[in-house]
Structure 1
Amino acid sequence: MAGEKRARWGGSEFYDLLCLMMIGACGWMVGVQLGAFRALDAIMIDHGLSELVMLGCFVGLGAFVASLHKSLRLRRAMLERDRAEEQAALSARHDSLTGLANRRRFVERVDAGFRREAGEIAAVFVIDLDRFKPINDLYGHAAGDAVLCTVAERLEQVLPPGSLAARLGGDEFAAMLPSSVGSDAVARIAQSVIATLSLPITWQSSELKIGATIGIAVASESVADAEAALHAADLAMYQGKRDGRGSFRFFERAMDDALRARALMECDLREAILGGQIEPFYQPVVSLHDRELIGFEVLARWRHPERGVLPPSEFIPIAEETGMIGDLSYGLLRRACRDAASWPPHLQLAINIAPQQFQDRWLAEQILAVLDETGFPAGRLEVEITESALIHDLEATRATLTSLQNLGVRIALDDFGTGYSSLYHLRELKFDKLKIDRSYVNSITMSDERAKLVDAIIKLGSSLGLVTTAEGIECSGSLGWLEDQGCDFGQGYLFGKPMSKSEADQYVEGGTTEVSAKTAAERAAA
């Protein structure tokens, strides 16, 4: 405690003052002893002054030096404080990595531009980088940071004078164009930004390639502040990503309406999954050799309380994007297994698993849990995987498929010919079946080139020991041709449209599915 008191005393300004005054007094004493003040002594004697006055002068000099030292220290502290405030203000309004304006400064600048009577803003861009995440994953964050800094430099170079570029966060940037550029030039500038950002970026010995998608909000009565402009440009940017990356889109009021409808659909879908409104429908799969029913493909249908029965194209993409696809798929599989329990044991169930689900290392265990719960044999289940699932993580997909096959579940590659699969994938992943996409099957009778491609797929499957199923068979001409080429199974409106559990029960009781020309026409028209 005594040491702490001495430390506080030693660091005080009063202590400094005493020290300097003592130094002054000591200087006077040394001067007296050495006779350094003889000339001053004579002057002081002539004016009747004592040596105590001289001592007081020296002590006062010490006090003056102490005061000067304090003033200099205060001045230095004030300068450091000002520099710290400037740095804090700079950091609060600039991105630390790229040096561009951050969201806060961008919003302030855009709001200020909107508030001016003449209006100083022509448009606001929201710029999202394409293919940035793979660069971070493959080359590391140092490469990602280099890309972001290069993007910042290129933005400042390509944007017209008076513009403001900002990094909003992650790989998302923004730009404000001044009204001087004119509305006609906005599209041209957006195209220039995309072209400039798409140029290769050199990183060490590699060339990194990215792209950009831009959403544009033009200043108007409905877009009258920064938040409204960013929201509108963001909607336009996401529309551009849905339409195809590497493009730009202008905000339209319909986009906002679509977003609100999408949000409502998400909410309704979540309730529908919990409430069991998503139910399995069944489309027959038939042996082309003898027209015998061999099973059903499970297709999702949503019995919406207001819109009626909705097809999967209206809600499956939403479920995939929002992460609800797992709960939806497992619930669908559970109901389908229970429905099929009363059917003959040779009939199979085929269900499609979304690409996102194959990133879940517990997928096989989840499916096994459903099979155990319902008592449905694994040998009667066929899991269909689309080609797009193969590009995410081949090793994770291989491990999941192998686990399922070890259980006895068969694996089919769906929509073959429309995605990214290759002979390497067919060999490495050991599928049991190829499903030929309906876009090829529908055009067999109209295009010799398509017919040759379908024939090649059938022969490829046969050479690899895989059975083939043709989807979308709608006419007897296609049916006969496929049978002649050796295709094993088929499905489509020619044999039956997707049907409810009760309709599927009646279909199963009917036995064979021999198709006459009249029946085929009726079913195709249904």
Structure 2
Amino acid sequence: MPNESSTTWGRGELYETLCLLVIGAGIWFVGVTLGTFDSLNAAMSAYGLNDLLMLAACMGVALFGASVRKSILLRRLMLQRDAAAAQAEAIARHDGLTGLANRRRFIDAVARAQATLGAEPSSAVLLIDLDRFKPVNDLYGHAAGNAVLCAVAERLQQQLPAGGVAARLGGDEFAMLVPVEQGSEGLTRLAQAVIASISEPVSWNQNDLKVGATVGVAVVAANHADPDAVLHAADLAMYQGKKDGRGNYRFFRSTMDEELRARARIETELRTAIETGAIEPYYQPVVSLPEKTIVGVEVLARWRHPTRGLVGPTEFIPVAEETGMIADLSYSLIRRACLDARAWPSYLILAVNIAPHQFQDAWLAQRILAILTETGFPPQRLEVEITESALIQDLEATRATLLSLRQLGVRIALDDFGTGYSSLYHLRELKFDKLKIDRSYVDAITMSDERAKLVDAIIKLGTSLGLSTTAEGIETDASLDWLSDQGCHFGQGYLFGHAMPKAEMDVVLSAGGDAVGPTDGLALAS
């Protein structure tokens, strides 16, 4: 059955035709009445024509006029339809916010570049991911974020070489398809120019919004199966740039794919290890100076891997921090360490490391209190170590968290002092209990007068502020004697014992609490 719209259209056409026929008849009637057709009728009568034929002629003229009008309307509708189709196509192939090409159009452009690929690479893809974009959205709102995205799009257009395509792939990720005219040097200069351009502040509501960019570069080559493979290669290169510190560029290397797969395997295995408790707390003695009596232990993580054996923290702690698994890992280690240390002498301090971004968690103190309550471990025996990098992320949030921990009775130590950004202001305002001197200073005190003077200054600074000091990485008797003479309160390092599991620590403590040396056979695990 015909639908309602076609029926309505048909009725309209019939009505319009009837109206035009009536108009034609009206013209004929007026012409006859006024005698307009008299001379024409006389000429036509000679050929035997009559008024009916004149009437038909008038109606025919009316119908002709109707067909002309209809043709004009159809032509106008076709032009409007073509314009709408062109607009729809433009919308479908461009990003609505920035006006750049979208992913679909960019993929098509890369496909065309692959189709025209010759013996030498003629084009390359730059994948651009913004750095520090999320804080702009969080602090100033989505309107500010949109302003940044539009500014970035405009700057990419300014940097785009002739014949190139700039696109927004989604979120804060952009891409450029550019001709390779001057080899890797030209691509290097372009990547550097893009990074420098995006790093310029964006003015918005009297605020300077600052973001950065990391760029991955991949040449369109014959070994890429399709456009997605080219983008994947550029993405791997960009990821390597992020890993190396952001704000830089990296070219794709074939080994990156395997590195990424290895990283994915580590993430999967690490998540399983945290859930199953395969990452264990190990304990390194902290001794008083110069007596060398154990007064505490630092909790260090060791991963008992099913195929690789005992894995050190440098291989998995950065991965845990980057993926957000560090919180679950930290709380698991603290809980197990508190359970282990309950049976140890009551004077023994348990020192635990907390990742910098965990101090932004307003509930950190409550989570630690819940662990202490659950395990029955006294807060006065727990010492939380914070690195200097945590101080620059959000000082006020860190201050509030440290205050909550101090109110519980937990001690606070500033770890790796001298390697970061802490100042006298931080030491005064955040009220630490202890400074830990980084091993990079301790290693060189007997070989470098400058390092020795720096360590001496740190010890005297701690004493003047009422803070105890712990030297990390003590490995020789000469270093031990020098630190003791300068008034350092505590020491930690291989000279007193490697990190060891609870069973070995139990043996050491049952022997009277004297630190073991590296040759005592009790601390071979590292």
TM-score per shorter chain, which class? 0.7 to 0.9
Asked if 2 retains the 8 angstrom alpha-carbon contact of 1:21 and 1:59, the reply is no
Q: Partner amino acid for 2:459?
A: I
Deviation, structure 1 residue 131? 3.7
Distance across 1 between alignment mates of 2:222 and 2:18? 72
Q: Residue 100 of structure 1 corresponds to which residue in structure 2?
A: 100
CA contact (8 A) 1:286 1:294 kept: yes
Separation in structure 2 between the aligned mates of residue 36 and residue 486 of structure 1, nearest angstrom: 130
Q: TM-score, normalised by structure 1?
A: 0.87
- Structure 1 range deviating more: 485-494 or 301-310: 485-494
| Aligned-residue RMSD, C-alpha | 3.5
- Equivalent position of 1:403 in the other structure: 404
* 1:440/1:450 contact within 8 Å kept: yes
Unmatched runs of 5 consecutive residues or more in structure 2: none
- Structural mapping, 1:278-297, within 5 Å: 278-297=279-298
For 2:252, the aligned partner's letter is: F
Measured at CA, do residues 509 and 99 of structure 1 come closer, stay the same or move farther in structure 2, by a change above 3 Å? same
Of stretches 386-395 and 33-42 in structure 1, the one that deviates more from structure 2 is 33-42
Quote how far apart the aligned CAs of 1:470 are: 1.8
Kept in 2, the 8 Å contact 1:337–1:374? The answer is yes
Q: How many residues align?
A: 520
Between stretches 256-265 and 286-295, larger displacement belongs to 286-295
Q: Contact (CA 8 Å) 1:302, 1:312: kept in 2 or not? A: yes
User: Please, which moves more after superposition, 420-429 or 313-322?
Assistant: 420-429
Offset at residue 282 of structure 1 (A): 0.2
Moved more, 102-111 or 236-245: 236-245
**1:109-134 deviations in whole A, cap 9, x for unaligned?**
11221122526634222222334444
Counterpart in the other structure of 1:218: 219
Farther off after superposition, 466-475 or 198-207: 198-207
> What amino acid sits opposite 2:99 in the alignment?
G
- Per the TM alignment, residue 218 of structure 1 is displaced from its structure 2 partner at its CA by 2.6
Task: Using the TM superposition, give the Cα deviation of residue 301 of structure 1 relative to its aligned residue in structure 2, in angstroms.
Answer: 0.2
Distance of 1:462 and 1:256 partners within structure 2:
52
From the superposition, tell whether residues 30 and 258 of structure 1 become closer, same or farther in structure 2 (CA, over 3 Å): closer
- 1:4-15 equivalences under 5 Å are 12-15=9-12
**Judging changes above 3 Å, is the alpha-carbon distance between structure 1 residues 311 and 64 closer, same or farther for their aligned structure 2 residues?**
same
Larger deviation, residues 302-311 vs 102-111? 102-111
Shift of 1:93: 2.0
Are 1:187 and 2:184 counterparts?
A: no
Give the TM-score taking structure 2 as reference length.
0.87
| Structure 2 equivalent of residue 483 of structure 1 | 484
1:98 alignment partner AA: T
Q: Secondary structure of the equivalent of 1:434?
A: strand
Q: Secondary structure at the residue paired with 1:177?
A: strand
Deviation of the 1:180 alpha carbon? 4.0
Instruction: Check the 8 A contact 2:114/2:221 in 1, yes or no.
Output: no
* In structure 2, distance between residues paired with 1:70 and 1:98: 41
Distance in 2, Cα, partners of 1:107 & 1:514: 64
Distance, in Å, in 2 between the alignment partners of 1:506 and 1:57 is 122
Structure 1, 100-109 or 313-322: larger mean CA deviation: 100-109
Partner of 1:168: 169
Please tell me whether residue 115 in structure 1 is matched to residue 115 in structure 2.
Answer: yes
SS in 1 for 2:283: strand
Alignment-derived partner of residue 499 in structure 2: 498
Q: Which residue of 1 aligns with 2:325?
A: 324
Q: Distance in 2 between matches of 1:58 and 1:361?
A: 90
**More displaced stretch, 333-342 vs 63-72:** 63-72
Cα distance in structure 1, aligned partners of 2:473 and 2:353: 16
| Counterparts of residues 256-271 of structure 1 (less than 5 Å) | 256-271=257-272
Distance in 2 between residues matched to 1:10 and 1:414, nearest whole Å: 83
Relative to structure 1, the CA distance from residue 496 to residue 515 in structure 2 (aligned partners, 3 Å threshold; closer, same or farther) is: closer
Distance 1:485 1:15, change over 3 A: same
Hey, what does 2:88 align to over in structure 1?
A: 88
SS at the partner of 1:39?
Answer: coil
How far does residue 523 in structure 1 lie from its aligned partner after superposition? 8.5
SS in 1 for 2:314: helix
1:138-188 Cα deviation digits (max 9, x unpaired): 554444434433333333333433222222223322222324444553333
Amino acid at match of 1:419: G
Structure 2 counterpart of 1:102, which letter?
N
- Judged with a 3 Å threshold, the aligned counterparts in structure 2 of structure 1 residues 481 and 39 are, in CA distance, closer, same or farther, namely same
**How many angstroms apart in 2 are the aligned matches of 1:122 and 1:369?**
58
Q: What pairs with 1:296-307 in structure 2 (closer than 5 Å)? A: 296-307=297-308
The answer to whether the Cα contact below 8 Å between 1:126 and 1:233 also exists between their aligned partners in 2 is: yes
- Is the 2:24–2:62 contact (alpha carbons within 8 Å) kept by the matching residues of 1? no
Residue 399 of structure 1 deviates from its aligned partner by 2.8
Partner of 1:158: 159
The runs of 5 or more residues in structure 1 that have no matched partner are 1-6
Give distance in 2, aligned partners of 1:336 and 1:359.
23
Deviates more, 1:60-69 or 1:73-82: 60-69
Q: Which moved more, 1:104-113 or 1:459-468?
A: 459-468
Distance verdict in 2 for CA 1:514–1:184, change over 3 Å: closer
SS where residue 306 of structure 1 aligns? coil
Q: Which residue of 2 aligns with 1:427?
A: 428
- 376-385 or 293-302, which moves further after superposition? 376-385
Is the contact made by 1:352 and 1:383 (CA closer than 8 Å) also made in structure 2?
yes
Distance 1:403 1:59, change over 3 A: farther
Aligned counterparts of 1:390 and 1:53: Cα–Cα separation in 2: 102
Residue of structure 2 in register with 1:313 after alignment: 314
Pairwise CA distance, 1:306: 0.8
Q: Percent identity?
A: 61
Whole-Å separation in 2 of the counterparts to 1:23 and 1:219: 65
Residues 122 and 183, structure 1, Cα contact 8 Å, conserved in 2: no
* Other-structure match for 1:40: 37
What's the CA shift for 1:19? 5.4
Following TM superposition, by how much is the alpha carbon of 1:308 offset from its aligned partner in structure 2, in angstroms?
0.7
Question: CA deviation digits over 1:212-241, x for unaligned, max 9?
Answer: 322222344433532222111211122122
